[in-house]
Structure 1
Amino acid sequence: MTEYRAVFDAEVSFVNGGGLSAQGFRLDVPRADVSEGEVAELLVRHLGLALVGGVEFAGFEVVEEAHKGSRGVDRHQDVSKPTDASGRGPLVDLSHTIRAGLVTYPGIPAPTIRPHLTREASRKTYAPGTEFEIDVIDLPGNTGTYLDSPFHRYEDGGDLSTLPLETLVGLRAEVFHLQDASERGIPAAVFFERPREALAGAAVLLHTGWSRRFGTPAYATGSPFLTEEGTRFLVDAGVALVGIDALNIDDTESGGTRPAHTLLLEAGIHVVEHLTALDRLPARGARFTAVPPRVEGFGTFPVRAFAELPAGE
């Protein structure tokens, strides 16, 4: 069977600063018509790089040459079915606590909580020693840690009542720890370190570290976000869900454009915003769950998002 290698000079930049140069680099590739974008992904995985911001090539060509054993070339490896650990691993709560008066997003009302039936009043209805409290909560769907369904963006999109549980429960978590990034926008190249097959059907969780500002005025400005380029990469990879521990999956300071919401929800990919504690998750191996109530005609709602770590961790 004929084998091929790409030959090129490359400049690799990192989201947390710095760069890497390569001259006359040769890399095994799966076929003759491989694109520069595919080779960029292969290069990142071959070198074991993380926090990549971009890859630029010069003098790029593909030559007929026997493979030398570059890592990451076998794109047919089945990474979608990791071995299940016996027993349940530790659980990590990834949700913010909702309380009366909590401001999640500037301009959206805070929740209010009031009693419908107090314990004192219930004593008149029930047997001696038996009492209950029933409360009423008024809150916008965009409160605390919440999930967006397609209906949030599209009038004819599926609402919360239509979301299949298998797309919300026990998803493989692919976590990208980006808290050291020097730029607000998360580019596509960040995801090159893992095969696309690993991202397909997974919950991609973006750990920016911004959640430490949650509940303060500093949370509202300068928040990290997923770029349109990065969004398109994840849509093409077939992810099931994208979550972020920041104000919004989009750049709220861009003048109203929302490419991440637009593209993800159009593709039926769930969005979870305002996560927390992502620093406690490994890059791979955890399982992610975020389930909203089954409400018709509603697009967003708070979730109790959590991750199950591999047993023994």
Structure 2
Amino acid sequence: MPFDDATLIDLSIGLEDGPPSEPMPPSIDHFGHEAGAERLAENLRELGHDVEASDFPDGMGLAWEDLEVIPHAGTHMDAPWHYGPEVDDEPAKTIDEVPLEWCRGNAVVLDFRSKEPGEEISVADLEDTLDELDHELSPGEIVLIQTGADELWGTPEYLTQFPGMSAEGTKFLVEQGVKVIGTDAYGFDKPFTAMGERYVESGDEDELWPAHFAGREVEYCQIEKMANLDALPRKTDVPIVAVPISIEDGSGGWVRPVAFVEDGAADDAVDGASDEIWGDDA
């Protein structure tokens, strides 16, 4: 399938100013074209050039925005460094060290919309869902965990109404050769409230971010806050690209995952069509 014949499906949530679905929401200050002319003229005057805002065509300069935002807002990829300083006794990769080859491949969508908020997704859950798809994971595939939580984006409930991955489930996927795992939920683990309640009840430190901390044993990246997985025409062999922005020594970076599907694809699209994009080695 040539790229110019593909339908592109955006699997991301962008940065917004102060959404209730972010505990540390971005702040975005917009500057219009007139304000842009003032700023550009001021910059030029600081360089010794006598320029006024009114000198710009129609008194308008360039629009831009000032942002105050963490790299874990919006759809983003967590680097191995996010989970800990080492992975299996080796230095953990920061987001600028993540191989680009990890960030493109054929996606497998595992549907866990039937799970209750706060539940964990176990190895058995993963195996059962893969069996239902009659699919065996292969190295380099990208696994997408579908919870349906993206439908709650824009509300406070987005932060609490989703199941999360277990530590053993995370390790199971990585041990199949998966290097990138995505979720359409706020977080990869259970909601903060569920983890806090379980820790207070049990005193067991393994209740705190177990899926994240599995990344101290197995090397992988996770994409959080994805969206539109229900728009994909099938559950397997979906080619996607999800390259994060490079932030020096960063624990994560914003990413805009995009799926490529054949124009007019149906649910029973021919398996392996993505091989024509990535080749047999993808």
Q: Do both share a fold (TM > 0.5)?
A: yes
Unaligned segments of structure 1, at least 5 residues: 1-84
* Residues 279 and 265 of structure 1: CA distance in aligned 2, closer, same or farther (over 3 Å): farther
Aligned-residue sequence identity (percent) comes to: 27
* Counterpart check, 1:276 vs 2:210: no
* Counterpart check, 1:200 vs 2:130: no
Structure ranking higher on relative contact order (CA contacts 8 Å, 6+ apart): 2
- Residue 57 of structure 2 corresponds to 128
Q: Is the 8 A contact 2:21 2:157 kept in 1?
A: no
Structure of larger gyration radius = 1
Q: What does residue range 164-183 of structure 1 map to in structure 2 within 5 Å? A: 164-169=99-104, 171-182=105-116
The structure that is helix-richer by fraction is 2
Q: Size of the alignment, in residue pairs? A: 227
Q: What does residue range 60-71 of structure 1 map to in structure 2 within 5 Å? A: none
The CA distance in 2 between the partners of 1:89 and 1:266, in whole Å, is 38
Q: Is the 8 A contact 2:115 2:163 kept in 1?
A: no
Q: Is the 8 A contact 1:285 1:309 kept in 2?
A: no
The CA distance in 2 between the partners of 1:266 and 1:232, in whole Å, is 8
Q: Which of 282, 296, 300 does residue 252 from structure 2 map onto? A: 300
- Residue 236 of structure 1 corresponds to 175
What is the TM-score with the length of structure 2 in the denominator? 0.71
* Residues 132 and 105 of structure 1: CA distance in aligned 2, closer, same or farther (over 3 Å): closer
Moved more, 226-235 or 190-199: 190-199
The CA distance in 2 between the partners of 1:103 and 1:303, in whole Å, is 21
Q: Is the 8 A contact 1:104 1:143 kept in 2?
A: no
What is the TM-score with the length of structure 1 in the denominator? 0.65
Amino acid at match of 2:246: R
Unaligned segments of structure 2, at least 5 residues: 42-51, 86-90, 197-206, 266-282
Q: Is the 8 A contact 2:95 2:244 kept in 1?
A: yes
* Counterpart check, 1:92 vs 2:27: no
Q: CA deviation at 1:307?
A: 1.1
Note the alpha carbon deviations across 1:50-76, whole angstroms, 9 max, x for none.
Answer: xxxxxxxxxxxxxxxxxxxxxxxxxxx
Q: Give the secondary-structure state (helix, strand or coil) at the position aligned to 2:84.
A: coil
Q: CA deviation at 1:91?
A: 0.8
Q: Give the secondary-structure state (helix, strand or coil) at the position aligned to 1:254.
A: helix
Note the alpha carbon deviations across 1:259-279, whole angstroms, 9 max, x for none.
Answer: 211224653311001111111
The CA distance in 2 between the partners of 1:303 and 1:148, in whole Å, is 10
CA-based RMSD of the aligned residues comes to: 2.6
Q: Is the 8 A contact 1:199 1:239 kept in 2?
A: yes
Q: What does residue range 28-107 of structure 1 map to in structure 2 within 5 Å? A: 85-87=1-3, 88-106=5-23
Q: Is the 8 A contact 1:147 1:272 kept in 2?
A: yes
Q: Is the 8 A contact 1:186 1:224 kept in 2?
A: yes
Q: Which of 215, 221, 224 does residue 154 from structure 2 map onto? A: 215
- Residue 240 of structure 2 corresponds to 288
- Residue 195 of structure 2 corresponds to 254
The structure that is strand-richer by fraction is 1
- Residue 69 of structure 1 corresponds to none
Q: Is the 8 A contact 1:150 1:266 kept in 2?
A: no
- Residue 159 of structure 1 corresponds to 94
- Residue 147 of structure 1 corresponds to 77
* Residues 190 and 309 of structure 1: CA distance in aligned 2, closer, same or farther (over 3 Å): farther
* Counterpart check, 1:137 vs 2:67: yes
Q: CA deviation at 1:92?
A: 0.8
Amino acid at match of 1:296: E
Q: Is the 8 A contact 2:174 2:219 kept in 1?
A: no
